[in-house]
Structure 1
Amino acid sequence: MTTILITTLLISLLVMILTSILSKKTITDREKNSPYECGFDPRGSARLPFSLRFFLIAVIFLIFDVEITLLFPLASILHLSNIFYWSFASLAFLMILLFGLYYEWAQGALDWSN
């Protein structure tokens, strides 16, 4: 049992050392060390500040995008259900969406200029 454990440990250690030696790049390229397309310095700080207002708008967009995706099945079940129940359910869902949008607007979450 111990011989199998030692053999496995030695083989895995040998493979890790071998890949570590072979994966080292000795040639440094000027293009590899320069900023890539985005213009950020790759050796600079990765903790750049971002706009919290932009993040809030993105989350609100994501929520409303998912809710609009939930509206698509309503069109496909129109012919399967009673028109009164279908219109009540769809209007209730849309009213909840509109009240949520109005609440976000009243709280000032959609004011980008502030």
Structure 2
Amino acid sequence: MVDLAQYLPILLFLAVALGLSSAFVFLPMAVGRLTGAHKPDVAKLSEYECGFPAFEEPRSQFDVRFYLVAILFIIFDLEAAFLFPWAVSLDQIGWAGWATMMIFIFELVLGLVYAWKKGALDWE
């Protein structure tokens, strides 16, 4: 039987983290509204980074290859996130854990070879 009391510190940590992050996000917005700092006018809404209007629509579309490279980066970044705990616990999980990770790495290599052959990693 699992003792759920051992998860109490984790739940408390998550509750405190959620409370603090919510306070850091929403409290400045609420204070800004209450103190009158939220009164947009023409001067406040004008361009302030470069001093002149943008040349084109800021919501322009990106090339689909940008998204493909980003997704591939996330996939291979997650591979590294799985490798560290596996390496730390390798002495406890034995040969079954080693074989499972080798299958996982093999699948990722197959995915990389497929993306490479399809030209997903070529940037023009």
Question: How does 1:3-82 map onto structure 2 within 5 Å?
Answer: 23-24=38-39, 28=43, 33-36=46-49, 41=53, 45-82=57-94
- Sort the Cα spacing of 1:68 and 1:28 in 2 relative to 1 into closer, same or farther, 3 A: same
Q: Distance in 2 between matches of 1:63 and 1:26?
A: 44
The TM-score with structure 1 as length reference comes to 0.60
- Sort the Cα spacing of 1:69 and 1:41 in 2 relative to 1 into closer, same or farther, 3 A: farther
- Sort the Cα spacing of 1:88 and 1:24 in 2 relative to 1 into closer, same or farther, 3 A: closer
- Sort the Cα spacing of 1:51 and 1:87 in 2 relative to 1 into closer, same or farther, 3 A: same
2:104 aligns to what SS in structure 1? helix
Structure with the greater alpha carbon radius of gyration: 1
Deviations 1:10-52 (A, max 9, x none): xxxxxxxxx8xx65356836xx622426x88369623323222
Q: Distance in 2 between matches of 1:93 and 1:70?
A: 10
Consecutive unaligned residues in structure 2, runs of 5 or more: 1-32
- Sort the Cα spacing of 1:103 and 1:42 in 2 relative to 1 into closer, same or farther, 3 A: same
- Percent identity reads 34
1:9 corresponding residue in structure 2 = none
- Sort the Cα spacing of 1:44 and 1:101 in 2 relative to 1 into closer, same or farther, 3 A: closer
**Count of paired positions:** 89
Consecutive unaligned residues in structure 1, runs of 5 or more: 1-18
Residues 1:90 and 2:101 are matched in the alignment: yes
Deviations 1:47-68 (A, max 9, x none): 3232221121111111211222
